[in-house]
Amino acid sequence: MKRIRNALVSFAIHRSWTTILFILLAVIITGSFFPQVNIDTDPEHMLPENEKSRVFHNQAKKTFSLSEIVVVGVVNSKNPNGIFNPQTLQRIHTLASFAKNLNWEDPDKPGRRQGVIEVDMVAPSMVEHISQAGPGTISFDWLMPKAPQNQEEALAVREKIMANPMLAGRMASEDGKSLCLYLPLTDKHLSYRVYKALNEKIEAMTGDDQFHITGLPVAQDAIGVEMFTEMMVASPLAMCTIFFLLFYFFRKLSLTILPMIIATFSVIIAMGLMIGMDFDVHIMSSMIPVFLMSIAVVDSIHILSEFFDAYTPSKGREETVREVLGTLFMPMLYTSLTSAAGFFSLALTPIPPVQIFGVFVGFGIMVAWFLTIVFVPAYVMVLPKKAFTNFGFEAHTEHKNSIMDALLSATGRTAYRQAKPIIAGLLLLLTISIWGISQIQINDNPIKWFAMDHPIRKADTDLNTHFNGTHPAYLILDSIKTDTRSAKFRQDVSRRFITFAQQISSHAPNAPQLANKLLSELRKESSAGTLDQSFLDSAIAITDRIAEKASDADYYVYDELKSFFSLEQERLKPFKRPDVLQYLAKLQNTLESNGLVGKAYSAADVVSKINQEMLDGSPANYRVPDKLQSVGECYMQFQQGHRPHDLWHMVTPDFGHACVVVQLSSGDNKVMEAVERFVDDYFKTTPPPVPISHKWAGLTYINVAWQNQMVQGMLRSFIGSFGIVLFMTVFLFRSLKWGLLCMVPLTMTIAFIYGFIGIIGKDYDMPVAVLGVLTLGMSVDFAIHFVERCRSIHPHTGSWKKTVPQMFDAPARAISRNIMVIAIGFLPLLTSSLVPYKTTSLLLSSIMLLSGVLTLVGMPAIITLAEKHFFSGKQAIKTAQQ
């Protein structure tokens, strides 16, 4: 190891320009990939392509032609009639007519259009209104074909919407103050184009209405835009802050710029390579600069701090560099390796964007390490000589009694003298934190990724105050096919067939006789083995064959008999059965009254609505009728309207599968999970009339699916990296106790941070989860440096008591500088309009502070209490450098 180190450092010192040139070349090459950057904000991609719930989600989307939807919310709280006034409705009408034309010729598929799917739009002017038009008369008409001319007509529109449970609470809020237009897209990637066009149109409108354009595809686009802003503005801003802090510490522009160069180069190389390897930039990987910069800066601060302290003009730069690298090479390699290991362990999570993030941050850390080892000496060597005048700790001795130094030495003294109370206090805090961890709420909500004042978040808040639920999830129901070839099925059908024949014998006296003839014919064929189709198909075929030759009178009887078998075929389609639809209706009611769900609708509502209007229009008749034929007739009547295709978003044409649309009161994963549990329980305690399996689809559910994977995955990766880091520290110090000691600050930091999160009730979401791993890498960094220095100083002083003051000199200063740089450096991210960035910023600062304090207070306190254990025998003399 020593040989490699010397070779690297010598090369960098003697061929400094070549080294710099090579590094610049690498930066230019990887940097050239940046223009190909591809932003990916699709939450679906949080799951691997072949992941079960993602595959199911996509299958369901195809089966029920479900599209991503842009929602235009219109709110009017000023008018006493809410949005139901002629002016607002006129604007809504205009906007709907405008929106339905927001589609264009598809350049890839000639003849096909892309953009808003007009036929699936939900708007007052474009949905069917089924109603009573006088006694015994039913009317199928557009709900609002023309904008109303006066207030009376506007209120009539309200009445029409509220009369349809599928629209009330979905298209217009029950309080009448807001209305949503739903614009399904052929492809979510078109949402930005649609959004822009709508925005322009809306801006040209006058009046006191508020318009919100929202929906998942819009939110995704917005995240993409914000991510770009963060990468282009917030990260450089953080960098500037770090730069000023460093300048404050080192007072030398040419040297303080060094950590910045190393951080920037590491980010460019790691991200450039990632983009060059064709990985999309996801919300996670957009944070690579932030993470990498903090870690890269930490490494070079160690070296700079050491260099600053060790430099004397008499020693000269070459010797100082060699000396500093001699001391720091191994600890830096190990801190980098441990931090990298922490991030590489993210590859164990089953979430592709997190895997990519982990691997490339890990890679970037190693790049930063390499640059520090090679670039720093080269850079120091090529600087003009005058850059070093007035540099170094010696030159700044007047600062010796600075506040920081006084504080540090006081900390050291306290840690030594008050070891017992400190440990007791820490144990108490640990206990509280463990309780706090048990209170953690695992939850995420992509809408809450936006800050409160972001238009998307405002839209969500505003619309949710009027609607009970705007976040769709799809409950997919799949029936299990009945075995129509079994003997039991045959016997059952045959028995009922005879009963049926007897029932119709009042107006067809020979029906039982003909029925028996048919059955014996069927039996003959089945025993002859020619019956290769299902029993019902054969029965129908045989009846047809016999009827064709029959007399007119017999033909009609046969026709009736045949209808029995055909009807049995329909009965085999579960979502035509009244009992199944009634079951669905009841499930929906229970869900709605439970409060978690604002609105649920399904094919049962289609049937109920038609049934109501076919009978007399009274609300009491909004129900699923009891006869199979009545349900069939309702379905057929619905299909005879303007929008028959609406049905196929709720049920498949074979009526074997159904989709219940559930609008959740919030996009919170915990709400989705609660609904999932509720439905599971419902199916268990109240089994459906026929065997039906249920599963969820929709992006709201996909979020839950990947969250679950993330929590387990993070735990796995955390345990994995904890093990790796422990192994490495044990190996580095050739000692289990010192290795374990290194794990103390990070374990406590993580416990405190998560305990705190649990206690204040902040949701455990993606950034919080990922930061656990970062903590691991950062804290262990401090601990390794601390232990390393302890063990190299101790042999010279011979006692722990004398070691402490020395520890709280240069080593502690380097650590504190790091803490301050990172803790303050990332505060500019608080200005971000994306909450994950804010969380990262705050947590990063607290993690740095905590792990620093724990390293500087906790570790010496522990060593003090167990001095004999740590410094005994020959081991104490050995340091990792040997």
398 scored as a contact of another protein (CB under 8 A): no
Which of residues 628 and 842 has its CB atom nearest to another protein in the complex? 628
| Range 2-61, binding another protein (CB under 8 A) | none
Least Å distance between CB 640 and another protein?
6
197 scored as a contact of another protein (CB under 8 A): no
551 scored as a contact of another protein (CB under 8 A): yes
Least Å distance between CB 624 and another protein?
13
Cβ atoms of 601 and 170 within 8 Å: the answer is yes
645 scored as a contact of another protein (CB under 8 A): yes
| Range 617-636, binding another protein (CB under 8 A) | 625, 627-633, 636
Cβ atoms of 172 and 599 within 8 Å: the answer is no
Q: How many residues does the chain have?
A: 882
CA distance 346 to 581: 46
CA distance 558 to 66: 43
Which of residues 139 and 401 has its CB atom nearest to another protein in the complex? 139
CA distance 683 to 504: 39
Q: Which stretch binds another protein (CB under 8 A): 303-311, 356-364, 466-474, 637-645?
A: 637-645
Task: Select the residue interacting with another protein from 52, 112, 196, 524 (CB under 8 A).
Answer: 112
Which of residues 128 and 299 has its CB atom nearest to another protein in the complex? 128
| Range 50-79, binding another protein (CB under 8 A) | 62-63, 65
533 scored as a contact of another protein (CB under 8 A): no
Report how far apart, in Å, the C-alpha atoms of 575 and of each of 64, 477, 690 are.
Answer: 14, 10, 10
Q: Which stretch binds another protein (CB under 8 A): 48-56, 134-142, 427-435, 719-727?
A: 134-142
* Enclosing H/E stretch for 253: helix 253-276
641 scored as a contact of another protein (CB under 8 A): yes
Least Å distance between CB 687 and another protein?
25
Least Å distance between CB 563 and another protein?
6
CA distance 20 to 136: 90
Which amino acid is residue 628, in one-letter code?
L
Least Å distance between CB 645 and another protein?
5
552 scored as a contact of another protein (CB under 8 A): yes
Burial 657-677 (b: 16+ CB within 10 A, else e): bbbbbbbbbbbbbbbbbbbbe
CA distance 671 to 665: 8
Name the nearest CA neighbour of 542 among 566, 527, 525: 525
Helices (H), 352-454: 352-382, 403-417, 419-438
Q: Which stretch binds another protein (CB under 8 A): 21-29, 139-147, 158-166, 732-740?
A: 139-147
Residues contacting 31, CB < 8 A, separation 6+: 268, 272
510 scored as a contact of another protein (CB under 8 A): no
C-beta neighbour count of 119 within 10 angstroms: 12
Task: Select the residue interacting with another protein from 615, 759, 810, 849 (CB under 8 A).
Answer: 615
Name the nearest CA neighbour of 607 among 587, 589, 632: 632
CA distance 838 to 740: 33
Least Å distance between CB 606 and another protein?
12
496 scored as a contact of another protein (CB under 8 A): no
Helices (H), 478-595: 487-503, 511-527, 535-549, 552-571, 578-594
Cβ atoms of 345 and 717 within 8 Å: the answer is yes
Name the nearest CA neighbour of 573 among 696, 478, 640: 478
Which of residues 222 and 650 has its CB atom nearest to another protein in the complex? 650
At residue 384, the 3 state secondary structure works out as coil
685 scored as a contact of another protein (CB under 8 A): no
In this structure, the strands spanning 657-664 and 471-479 are antiparallel
CA distance 437 to 768: 13
Q: Residues touching another protein: how many (CB under 8 A)?
A: 54
648 scored as a contact of another protein (CB under 8 A): yes
110 scored as a contact of another protein (CB under 8 A): no
CA distance 733 to 875: 9
Least Å distance between CB 472 and another protein?
21
Least Å distance between CB 102 and another protein?
12
Least Å distance between CB 658 and another protein?
15
Q: Which stretch binds another protein (CB under 8 A): 80-88, 174-182, 338-346, 567-575?
A: 567-575
Least Å distance between CB 139 and another protein?
4
Q: Which stretch binds another protein (CB under 8 A): 116-124, 406-414, 417-425, 668-676?
A: 116-124
Cβ atoms of 350 and 46 within 8 Å: the answer is no
Q: Which stretch binds another protein (CB under 8 A): 80-88, 136-144, 670-678, 837-845?
A: 136-144
Write each residue from 845 to 874 as x if it is in contact with another protein (CB under 8 A), else as -, in one continuous string: ------------------------------
CA distance 223 to 450: 8
CA distance 382 to 370: 18
Which amino acid is residue 666, in one-letter code?
S
Task: Select the residue interacting with another protein from 26, 29, 117, 865 (CB under 8 A).
Answer: 117
Least Å distance between CB 137 and another protein?
4
Query: What residue ranges bind another protein (CB under 8 A)?
Result: 62-63, 65, 101, 111-113, 117-119, 133-134, 136-141, 145-146, 549, 551-552, 555-556, 559, 563, 566-567, 569-570, 576, 614-615, 625, 627-633, 636-637, 639-642, 644-645, 648, 652-654
